[in-house]
Structure 1
């Protein structure tokens, strides 16, 4: 299984898409100003 890091994650759509495709989201970061 491939692992990803989601930078500027927002609502998590990119992480969800990768997880649905068989990837594992290790961590997600969001900077709220």
Structure 2
């Protein structure tokens, strides 16, 4: 197992989680 690869997967997950939160915020903002 490559630690660098694991790091990329972790950052990828964090980025996807952030984008999901941003999408939710944009959706809520549109509802207002």
| TM superposition score normalised by structure 2 | 0.37
| Structure whose alpha-carbon radius of gyration is higher | 2
* Structure richer in helix, relative to its length: 2
